[in-house]
Amino acid sequence: MMSGGVDSSVAAALLVDEGHEVVGATLKLWGGESDSGCCSISDVDDARRVADHLGIDHHTFNFGDAFTEHVVAPYAADHAAGRTPNPCIECNRHIKFAAVDERARRLGFDAVATGHHARVVQLPDGTRRIARGADADKDQSYVLHVLDQDRLSRTLLPIGGLHKDQVRAHAAAAGLRTASKPDSQDVCFITKAQGRGSFLGDRIPLTPARVVDVAGTAVGHVAAVELVTLGQRKGLGLPGGTDPRYVVGIDRATATVTVGGPEDLLVAEQLVAGWAWSAGPESGDVAVQVSAHGRPKAARVVTDRDGGAVVRWAEPQRRVAAGQSVVAYVDDLVVGGGTAT
The residues carrying an active-site annotation are 91, 188
Cα dihedral across residues 164, 34, 81, 197: positive or negative: positive
**Angstrom distance (rounded) from CA 50 to CA 31:** 23
Contacts of residue 22, defined as CB under 8 A and 6 or more positions apart, other chains included, come to 12, 15, 16, 54, 56, 113
Question: Coil, helix or strand for 136?
Answer: coil
- Does residue 26 contact residue 41 with C-beta atoms inside 8 Å? no
**Angstrom distance (rounded) from CA 110 to CA 175:** 28
**Angstrom distance (rounded) from CA 7 to CA 183:** 9
Question: Coil, helix or strand for 173?
Answer: helix
DSSP assignment of 242-295, as one string? SS--EEEEEETTTTEEEEE-GGGGEEEEEEEEEEEESSS---S-EEEE-STTPP
